Amino acid sequence: MFAWLWRRKGAADVERTMQAAVAHHEAGRLAEAEAAYGEVIRADPRHADALHFLGFLAFQRGEHRRAAELINRSLELQAPNPRARINLGNAYQALGDASRASECYRAALALQPGLHEAHYNLGIACLALGRREDAAASFTEAIRLRPDLAEAHYFLGHLCCHEDRIEEGLACFRQALSLRPGYAEARWSLALGVLPQVYAAGEEPSRARQQLADSLQELERWFDPAARAAAGEAAVGAMQPYSLAYQEEPNRELLERHGPLCVRLM
């Protein structure tokens, strides 16, 4: 007689526990959130949101394989969930599986085309797969949807520079810096991006070399404070002037200036 009422009470308790879990999660109390999500799943093993959010929590902790397993279980119960698709893609990306990550981002976009983070993350996955044109298209769309996404401008700048579209690349780095003045990787890339891989016919190498010399001097000043120098290691890996080593130009002075700066920051 009271079975229906008991089930209703049980469902209400589960949802209260779920609300508490989300509150703990949003407040950064991960241990409490994990315990509460686990309680929800024990009461209702088919609770898709609890599985998804517990998977996201696992991702935050660096438990990427567990994250993928939990979010996959969630999607088996609630397939049309673009946010879960993005989070699953991020887990695969962290596991080094850019192919499966890209499939997840495309699935999210099929459900909700206006998700700028799905376009951006798809661009990152395409870069890892060597699909540069697809990556550029994804970053461009991410910027259209979210013009203040500094990271998208930054990666698009690298793609332009890789094709020796130097001015376009530098413009992207400048835009990234205007959005995030402390973006060390963008500042480093703006400095070193002035140097083309191959000089065009009639182009004066001495002009680019002087620009690089000025840029290196500016980098030395900018990275002088200890707080900025701490971000230097990631910045150094963003771009290197490899072409200096094989150009038929007197580049030894530039290389001798660049090398110690790298050593100081790493």
Residue 148 located in a structural domain: no
Q: Report whether 266 contacts 232 (CB < 8 A).
A: yes
Best CA proximity match to 12, nearest among 20, 45, 2, 52:
20
The answer as to whether 266 is a domain residue is no
Residue 236 confidence (pLDDT) above 80: yes
Looking at residue 113, the DSSP 8-state letter turns out to be: T
- Domain contains 38: yes
254: in domain: no
CB 12 within 8 A of CB 44: no
Distance (Å, whole) CA 93 – CA 178: 28
All residues at 6 or more sequence positions from 100 whose CB lies less than 8 Å from its CB, including other chains: 89, 92
Enter the tokens of residue 235. 């910045």
Q: Which helix (H) or strand (E) holds 98?
A: helix 98-111
When pLDDT is cut at 50, 70 and 90, the band that residue 231 belongs to is confident
Q: Give the Cβ contact number of residue 126 at 10 Å.
A: 22
- Does pLDDT of 69 surpass 70? yes
In the chain, the number of structural domains is 1
In angstroms, the Cα distances linking 37 to 20, 63, 71, 80 are 9, 16, 13, 21
pLDDT category at 243 given cuts 50, 70, 90 is low
Q: What is the pTM of this model?
A: 0.86
**SS3 assignment, position 251:** coil
Question: Is residue 185 in a domain?
Answer: no
User: Which domain CATH number covers 48?
Assistant: 1.25.40.10
Domain enclosing residue 90, as ranges? 25-133
pLDDT digits (tens, 9 = 90+) for 124-133: 999 999 999 9
Dihedral over Cα of 176, 180, 182, 185: its sign = negative
Tell the residue number behind the tokens 């996955």, with chain if given.
125
Q: Please check whether residue 149 is in contact with residue 172, taking contact to mean a CB–CB distance below 8 angstroms.
A: no
Please say if the pLDDT value at position 179 is more than 60. yes
pLDDT at 54 over 70: yes
